[in-house]
């Protein structure tokens, strides 16, 4: 019986150690840089939402631009992530400039809705003598689902717009260089609300539409996401779209795979062990070969028995 | 049940086997599940993007006026710098790009303004470029006459011809237009308003404030860029960048739509991107048919292509056909910007028919149903600065998307749990159950013995 107890304790300890380990291994379904490493920095930027240069996950951008240009990039973010956009601007030669410059980093979602920055210097001002300027914006955590009426960040395309918010008129048009870096923390396991899912990521269409006859009641549903996904891989046409998960017959069961499975299984195992342990604690003392070893009051019974036999 | 369990428990070896079995099961389960590849992030190969037969078109306007002989860029004349950069750009032209060159002020050296201001010709027609011929044509240029920028812009628009894709005009100049009217900035705005998808990028070779303001105005009017050229390398690099940009993005061209001032006669839009023009304080209506179970996604951008008052805003409303607001998107700001944009989502609810509003019930004129047509209303709170033209309207870009509506989540996946509290509760419950079963078993044995 002592061996049983030892086993129980050991296994319980092992399972307890296992549960967080499972949590750690399962918590990384976010798009990670492929084994070939991140792509080379993009050398272009669009000058409107429609022509924004789409960046692959982990890809930076390094662009020669002019002071006063409106530079657009798009990147994909998936649920649970918290993207941070960091921009470093190498300003024109200080001798050519006539005053301080303010550069602003703005982030918009796939529906061109302005996204709030929770941290970072969204608008940075550089003195006339400064050589570089850094601006950054940390978004809210991307939610897995939100009501249509809310403006919460959702999986899909995000646009970064870098522009000069304020500069002396004479300084517009001077050459500057902008470097963009996007980092993300978190993964699908943290996404709120749990169990929520957006049927289609917020990826805007980029192809021209068609005006229908006035009596048409159902518009053909174009597949902007499919087109955008296909073209996002080529990096030329279309807004950046999050990679879609591969579908299998068991996907429905485990598509929502997360650490809850590990925790619940571990909990069940522990409960059964505890049940066995609890049952064995109440074993009838008379059945025990070594009295006093198990059960509440067994030792007292044994002592009473010993005293009785002496007497 | 209890007898069975007791039989198991009483046997020491079996008792030792049971927890090990359970634990082994749990361990295998966990390791299997954590290795599950269901969420492997591999990009799926979708259908290829729709291709157009049109080629990217770029027409370059080179100022050849007398002032181009000024030698102030790294000690060289402005024209020779422009010529060298053009050579480099022609050499690096992508195969599919159709490239043309137009000159202004290249032929008439006299002082007659009326004649000098008509002096603009196509030096090399827009089309598949013979690189040697194009470079030879550029090399023959000598600084000569006047600077009719407005006329040259119109000429370039004609050179490019009609088409469904975005075309680019690149203007390299060192001087202010000395032939106005027409004012080149107004010309640019009119060209943009014709819906012929033109973007004008400007490059200034002189650092004069008037030149700069004029070129900035032209670039802003069409969504182009302005570059203040300081070195020959900068000019070459910028030109190559513009040509590359034209090559990469010329297909992203919206379809033209014309919104109306009421919902009833509004154009019906399929998913896609549209362009239109909206005047100050104007409301523009569009209709989108939305079926029950579908989600409408729309966004709008209003470009500020002229000087507007310091504060600005845009409002996009979705209403039903009776004018009831369903949802709105809004954005406002102040300061320097190119566009002001917002968007909205709206899902056709399956149950909204159950609760018609009292007015709708009494008048019975509304055909408001779940699904059906949704009207998109674009309005702006923009004001022109004094002296700024209000016609044509500001460029407006509208995107419309329809997808499957996403229902509200029902809670964590399959009711599974997580956390140390869960483990404690489950273990505690197991222990209590075990004790309970044990005591019941003991009590039953005691009862059985007594009898």
pLDDT digits (tens, 9 = 90+) for B407-450: 888 777 677 888 899 999 999 999 999 999 999 988 888 888 88
| Together in a domain, A192 and A303 | no
Position B346 scores a pLDDT of 92
Query: What is residue B26's predicted lDDT score, i.e. its pLDDT?
Result: 45
Q: Does the pLDDT at position A285 exceed 80?
A: no
B341 in reach of chain A (CB within 8 A):
yes
Average pLDDT, chain A: 76
Q: Is the pLDDT of residue B12 over 50?
A: no
Within an 8 Å CB–CB cutoff, is residue B75 touching chain A? no
Nearest to B336 among A30, A164, A256 (CB): A164
**Cα torsion B426, B431, B435, B437: sign:** positive
Residue B26: CB atoms within 10 Å: 25
Residue A22 in domain? no
Least-confidence region, from A36-40, B306-310, B361-365: B361-365
B245 or B381, higher pLDDT = B381
Give pLDDT tens digits for A203-233.
Answer: 888 888 777 766 655 555 544 443 433 333 3
Alpha helices in B168-320 (DSSP H): 184-193, 209-222, 232-249
**Residue B300 in contact with partner chain A when CB distance is under 8 A:** yes
Distance, in angstroms, between A306 CA and closest chain B CA? 22
Rounded to 10°, the helix B209-222/B149-160 angle is 30
DSSP-derived pairing of the beta strands B198-204 and B272-278 = unpaired
CB contact under 8 A, A66 and B22: no
Q: Sketch out chain B's domains with CATH numbers.
A: 57-249 (3.40.50.410), 255-348+368-404 (2.60.120.380)
Write down the pLDDT at residue A286.
55
Nearest to A225 by CA among B402, B249, B269: B402
The complex's ipTM works out to: 0.78
> What per-residue confidence (pLDDT) applies to B108?
81
In a domain, A251, yes or no: no
> What is the distance in angstroms between the Cα of B111 and the nearest Cα belonging to chain A?
31
> A287 and A238: one domain?
no
Chain A residue numbers with beta carbons less than 8 Å from the beta carbon of B297 are 110-111, 202, 204
Residues in chain A: 311
Tally Cβ neighbours within 10 Å of residue B311: 12
Return the top range by mean pLDDT from B31-40, B45-54, B226-235. Answer: B226-235
Residue A304, domain extent: 280-311
If asked whether residues A43 and A168 sit together in one domain, one would say: yes
Nearest-Cα distance to chain A for B385, in Å, is: 17
Higher pLDDT, A161 or A187: A161
Q: Does some domain include residue A9?
A: no
Q: Is residue A265 part of a domain?
A: no
In a domain, A86, yes or no: yes
CA distance B435 to chain A (A): 4
Residues A71 and A191 in one domain: yes
Please indicate whether, in this complex, the C-beta atoms of B228 and A173 are within 8 angstroms of each other.
Answer: yes
Predicted structure pTM score: 0.76
pLDDT at B120: 87
Beta-carbon separation of B23 and A282 below 8 A: no
CB contact under 8 A, B300 and A112: yes
Listed range (B169-173, B234-238, B417-421) with the worst mean pLDDT: B417-421
Same domain, yes or no, for A189 and A285?
A: no
Find the mean pLDDT for residues A102-121: 93
Q: What is the pLDDT of residue B253?
A: 83
pLDDT of B111 above 70: yes
A229 and A300 share a domain?
A: no
**Longest distance between any two alpha carbons in chain B, whole Å:** 134
- CB-CB neighbors (< 8 A) of A241 in chain B: none
List the single range of A6-15, A44-53, A191-200, B99-108 with lowest mean pLDDT: A6-15
- Chain B residues with CB under 8 Å of A79 CB are none
Same domain, yes or no: A311 and A230? no
Please indicate, yes or no, whether residues A179 and A285 belong to a single structural domain of this protein.
no
* Selection from A91, A73, A261 nearest residue A164 by Cα: A91
Name the domain count of chain A.
Answer: 2
Domain check: are A78 and A124 in the same one?
yes
pLDDT of residue A267: 93
Are residue A160 and residue A305 in the same domain, yes or no?
no
Among A29-33, B11-15, B18-22, B245-249, the range with the most confident prediction by mean pLDDT is B245-249
Would the CB atoms of B341 and A246 count as touching at under 8 Å?
A: no
Q: Are the Cβ atoms of A208 and B255 closer than 8 angstroms? A: yes
CB A43 within 8 A of CB A60: no
The verdict on a CB contact (< 8 Å) between A246 and B347 is no
B291, A68: Cβ pair inside 8 Å? no
Residues of B numbered 207-236 whose beta carbons fall under 8 angstroms of chain A's beta carbons: which are they? 207, 209, 212-213, 215-216, 223-228, 230, 234
Q: Is residue A235 part of a domain?
A: yes
Alpha-carbon distance A307 to nearest alpha carbon in chain B (angstroms): 24
Is residue B298 within 8 A of residue B398, CB to CB? The reply is: yes
| The pLDDT of residue A251 is above 70 | no
Instruction: Examine residue A273 and state whether it is found in any structural domain, yes or no.
Output: no
Residues of B within 8 A of A175 (CB-CB) are 227-228, 230, 234
Nearest residue of chain B to residue A19 (CA atoms): B30
**pLDDT at position B317, please?**
94
Q: Are residues A97 and A237 in the same domain?
A: yes
- A236 shares a domain with A304: no
Q: What is the pLDDT of residue B248?
A: 82
Burial of A292 (0-12, 13-18, 19+ CB in 10 A): middle
Q: What is the largest CA-CA distance in chain A?
A: 114
Residue A309 CA to residue B18 CA, distance in Å, equals 39
Of residues A229 and B109, more confidently modeled: B109
**Does residue A87 register a pLDDT over 90?**
yes
Q: Quick check: B195 and B86 in contact, CB under 8 A?
A: no
Count Cβ atoms below 10 Å from residue A210 Cβ, excluding itself. 16
- Indicate if the pLDDT at residue B134 is higher than 90: no
CA neighbor of B144 nearest in space, from B229, B235, B62, B206? B62
pLDDT given at position A72: 94
Instruction: Measure CB to CB from residue A50 to each of B257, B273, B403 and give the nearest one.
Output: B273
Which of A181, A216, A242 is where one domain is finished?
A: A242
pLDDT reading at B266 higher than 70: yes
CATH number of the domain bearing residue A179:
2.60.120.380
Q: Is residue A306 included in any domain, yes or no?
A: yes
Beta bridge partners of B320: B374
- Position A22 pLDDT exceeds 70: no
């Amino acid at each position: 019986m002592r061996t049983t107890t030892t086993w129980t304790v050991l296994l319980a300890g092992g399972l307890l150690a296992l549960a967080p380990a499972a949590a750690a291994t399962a918590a990384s379904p976010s798009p990670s840089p492929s084994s070939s490493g991140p792509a080379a920095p993009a050398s272009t930027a669009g000058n409107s939402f429609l022509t924004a240069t789409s960046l692959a996950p982990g890809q930076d951008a390094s662009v020669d631009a002019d002071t006063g240009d409106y530079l657009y990039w798009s990147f994909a973010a998936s649920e649970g992530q918290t993207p941070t956009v960091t921009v470093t601007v190498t300003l024109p030669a200080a001798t050519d400039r006539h005053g301080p410059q303010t550069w602003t980093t703005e982030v918009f979602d796939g529906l061109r809705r302005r996204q709030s920055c929770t941290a970072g210097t969204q608008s940075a001002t550089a003195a006339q003598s400064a050589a570089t300027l850094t601006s950054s914006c940390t978004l809210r955590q991307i939610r897995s689902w939100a009501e249509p009426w809310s403006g919460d960040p959702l999986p899909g395309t995000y646009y970064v717009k870098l522009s000069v918010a304020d500069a002396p008129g004479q300084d517009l048009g001077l050459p500057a260089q902008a470097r963009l870096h996007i980092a993300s923390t978190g993964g699908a396991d943290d996404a709120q609300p749990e169990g929520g899912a957006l049927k289609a990521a917020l990826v805007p269409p980029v192809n021209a539409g068609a005006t229908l006859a006035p009596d048409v009641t159902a518009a053909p549903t174009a597949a902007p996401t499919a087109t955008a996904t296909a073209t996002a891989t080529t990096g030329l046409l279309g807004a950046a779209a999050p990679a879609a998960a591969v579908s299998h017959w068991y996907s429905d069961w485990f598509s929502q795979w997360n650490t809850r499975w590990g925790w619940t299984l571990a909990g069940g195992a522990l409960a059964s062990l505890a049940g066995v342990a609890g049952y064995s604690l109440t074993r009838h003392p008379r059945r025990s070969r070594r009295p006093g070893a198990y059960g509440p009051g067994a030792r007292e019974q044994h002592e009473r028995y010993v005293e009785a036999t002496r007497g | 049940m209890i007898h069975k369990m007791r039989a198991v428990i009483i046997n020491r070896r079996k008792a030792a086997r049971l927890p090990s079995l359970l634990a082994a099961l749990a361990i295998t389960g966990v390791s299997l599940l954590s290795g599950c590849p269901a969420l492997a992030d591999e990009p799926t190969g979708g259908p290829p993007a729709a291709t157009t037969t049109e080629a990217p078109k770029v027409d370059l306007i080179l100022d050849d006026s007398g002032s181009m002989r000024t030698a102030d860029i790294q000690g060289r004349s402005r024209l020779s710098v422009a010529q060298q950069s053009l050579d480099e750009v022609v050499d690096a032209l992508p195969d599919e790009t159709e490239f043309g060159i137009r000159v202004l002020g290249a032929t008439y050296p006299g002082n007659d303004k009326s004649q000098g201001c008509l002096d603009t010709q196509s030096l090399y027609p827009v089309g598949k470029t013979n690189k040697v011929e194009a470079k030879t044509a550029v090399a023959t240029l000598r600084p000569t006459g006047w600077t009719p920028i407005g006329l040259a812009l119109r000429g370039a628009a004609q050179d490019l011809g009609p088409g469904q894709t975005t075309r680019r005009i690149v203007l390299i100049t060192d001087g202010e237009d000395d032939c106005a009217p027409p004012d080149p900035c107004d010309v640019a705005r009119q060209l943009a308003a014709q819906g012929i998808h033109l973007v004008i990028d400007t490059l200034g070779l002189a650092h004069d404030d008037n030149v700069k303001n004029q070129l900035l105005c032209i670039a802003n009017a069409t969504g182009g860029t302005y570059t203040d050229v300081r070195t020959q390398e900068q000019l070459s690099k910028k030109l190559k960048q513009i040509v590359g940009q034209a090559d990469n993005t010329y297909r992203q061209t919206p379809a033209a739509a014309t919104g109306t001032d009421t919902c009833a006669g509004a154009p019906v839009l399929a998913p896609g991107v549209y362009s239109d023009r909206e005047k100050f304080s104007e409301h523009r209506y569009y209709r989108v048919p939305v079926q029950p179970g579908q989600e409408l996604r729309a966004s709008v951008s209003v470009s500020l292509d002229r000087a507007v008052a310091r504060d600005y805003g845009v409002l996009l409303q979705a209403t039903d056909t009776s004018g009831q607001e369903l949802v709105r998107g809004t954005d406002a700001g102040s300061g320097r910007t190119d566009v002001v944009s917002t968007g909205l989502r709206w899902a056709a609810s399956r149950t909204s028919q159950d609760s018609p509003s009292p007015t709708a019930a009494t008048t019975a004129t509304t055909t408001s149903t779940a699904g059906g047509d949704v009207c998109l209303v674009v309005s702006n709170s923009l004001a022109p600065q004094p002296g700024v033209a209000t016609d044509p309207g500001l460029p407006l870009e509208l995107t419309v998307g329809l997808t499957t509506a996403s229902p509200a989540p029902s809670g964590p996946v399959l009711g599974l749990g997580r956390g140390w509290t869960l483990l404690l509760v489950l273990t505690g419950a197991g222990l209590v159950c075990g004790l309970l079963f044990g005591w019941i078993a003991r009590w039953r044995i005691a009862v059985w013995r007594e009898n």
